[in-house]
């Protein structure tokens, strides 16, 4: 599925709260990744198609420091193969007792043009990641290397992240509240609907701050709908 630049820009201007409401109208309830937060609060919003990495539990005979020699380790490959503009999404089984990755790999992703990274586990070197201009979401800091708990297995396959299914190409959107997964097939439609909903909610916010009550306004009745149309023409939105 194609994901247009117009849709990317629209999704950068809407909240994850609005997106979950729009997706609920499409019948989707399980779209908000559980218990993750952005490490670097000053980083821009996260928007981009998913490129996935899956971990399974580590085993001592095969998960040792020697596996990083060469170019075949899936974690390293994920960093070097995640396409520009995409989001690396890591299934760490909600286990943050060892790091999913660290600052050097995050810096490499940023330098390669990735749109961000999300794991339901933890990252190490978080004081360094905190200063990257690159959105990085995790559940908790974790100093130990991934090999202690994680065996990197699959790239670009369906995964679960924070109890939410993520398929390659699904659109990831993150703000300071968390991360939402939009199925790729409906991403353009959802972007349009969420953008329109955001414009309407800006109108509602303005009216509420002016002292108006919510009944008949949110959701709108005919009078509020007419007032919104006039407000929108005046604002040029």
d(CA 108, CA 217): 48
Mean pLDDT of the chain: 97
Tens of pLDDT along 94-142?
999 999 999 999 999 999 999 999 999 999 999 999 999 999 999 999 9
Residue with the bigger pLDDT between 83 and 3: it is 83
pLDDT of residue 69 exceeding 70, the answer is: yes
d(CA 47, CA 85): 8
pTM of structure: 0.95
d(CA 144, CA 122): 10
pLDDT for position 2: 74
Q: What percent of the chain has pLDDT over 90?
A: 98
> E strands, 92-149, where?
99-101, 116-119, 122-123, 136-138
Instruction: Report strand pairing: 116-119 vs 136-138.
Output: parallel
pLDDT of residue 1 exceeding 70, the answer is: no
d(CA 44, CA 29): 26
């Amino acid at each position: 599925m194609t994901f247009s630049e117009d849709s990317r820009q629209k999704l950068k201007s809407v909240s994850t709260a609005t997106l979950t409401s729009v997706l609920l109208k499409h019948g989707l309830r399980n779209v908000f990744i559980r218990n993750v937060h952005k490490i670097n609060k000053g980083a821009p919003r996260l928007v981009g198609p998913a490129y996935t990495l899956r971990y399974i539990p580590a085993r001592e005979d095969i998960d040792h420091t020697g596996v990083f020699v060469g170019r075949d380790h899936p974690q390293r490959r994920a960093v070097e193969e995640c396409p520009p503009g995409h989001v690396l999404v890591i299934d760490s089984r909600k286990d943050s007792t060892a790091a999913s990755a660290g600052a050097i790999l995050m810096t490499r992703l940023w330098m390669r043009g990735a749109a961000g990274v999300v794991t339901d586990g933890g990252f190490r070197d978080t004081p360094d990641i905190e200063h990257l201009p690159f959105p990085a979401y995790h559940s908790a800091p974790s100093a130990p290397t991934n090999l202690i708990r994680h065996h990197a297995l699959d790239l670009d396959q369906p995964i679960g992240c924070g109890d939410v299914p993520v398929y390659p190409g699904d659109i990831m959107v993150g703000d300071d509240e968390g991360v939402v997964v939009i199925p790729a097939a409906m991403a353009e439609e959802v972007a349009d609907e969420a953008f329109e909903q955001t414009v309407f909610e800006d109108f509602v916010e303005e009216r509420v701050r002016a002292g108006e009550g919510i009944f008949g306004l949110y959701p709108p009745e005919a009078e509020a709908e007419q007032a919104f149309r006039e407000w929108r023409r005046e604002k040029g939105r």
